[in-house]
Amino acid sequence: MFTGIIEELGTVTAVEQQGDSVALTVHGPVVVQDARHGDSIATSGVCLTVVEQTPETFTAFVMKQTLDMSAHGTLRVGDRLNLERAASVGDRLGGHIVQGHIDGTAAVLETSDGDGWRRVRFSLAPALSPLVVDKGSVALDGVSLTVSAVSPEDTHPDAAWFEVSLIPETLEATTLGLRVPGDRVNVETDVLARHVRRMLRLDAAAQSLETAAQPLETTGSEAR
């Protein structure tokens, strides 16, 4: 588990194709200080397992599914990544519960700068729209953020969007300060929202089965 509070900006130093997966090496001297083989490190929101490390770098494998559904599929040497070590028991939860299991990506649609802050609007895939709510939490490239606005409910699903407001600290300490329209970021919606959606779907399915079974029960009783 992570908190969405970025510890350092890492740099990709090697991307080696190995079959369907990729061996990714990242320079991140802060997060590797106490890293051991098998530890988890969030890389721009994607949880990866350390398989090798040096005093300043770590290597992890990125599986095909992750490459397909995340922005990691386009990583190149020199790209920057937001890095965070897994939370420890007793740590303060400075952001929100972030699992490192992203739901997909979102494109930067537009940005506008205010007095010491930046508003950024992102596209929102139809499947994720119910999970992103005004004033709710979302992790973008692993950064814990509060949703500041969402598209009206009557917006066409393919045109849905949401906005976040970035303070100077976030702009300077994370990759979000580098993003421009057209760039894609990794998105992880609130785990609590995902659980609620799952429960609602199961409840709706159970009610549908119950309703479908009622005529059969009635017919059976009449036949007797």
11-26 pLDDT, tens digit per residue, is 999 999 999 999 999 9
Report if residue 178 sits inside a domain.
yes
This model's pTM is above 0.95: no
**Residue 181 domain-assigned (yes or no):** yes
Distant-in-sequence, close-in-space partners of 31: CB < 8 Å, separation ≥ 6: 7, 8, 10, 41, 58, 83, 84, 85
Residue 1 resides in a domain: no
Closest CA to 78 of 172, 15, 7: 15
Positions in the chain whose pLDDT score sits under 50: none
In a domain, 213, yes or no: no
**What are the pLDDT digits (tens) for 98-143?**
989 999 999 999 999 988 899 999 999 999 998 999 999 999 999 9
Domain-embedded: residue 51 = yes
CATH, residue 47: 2.40.30.20
- Considering the domain architecture, whether residues 43 and 111 belong to the same structural domain is answered as no
Q: Which domain holds residue 17?
A: 8-85
Query: Do the domain assignments include residue 55?
Result: yes
Q: Does 65 share its domain with 114?
A: no
The total number of structural domains that make up the chain:
2
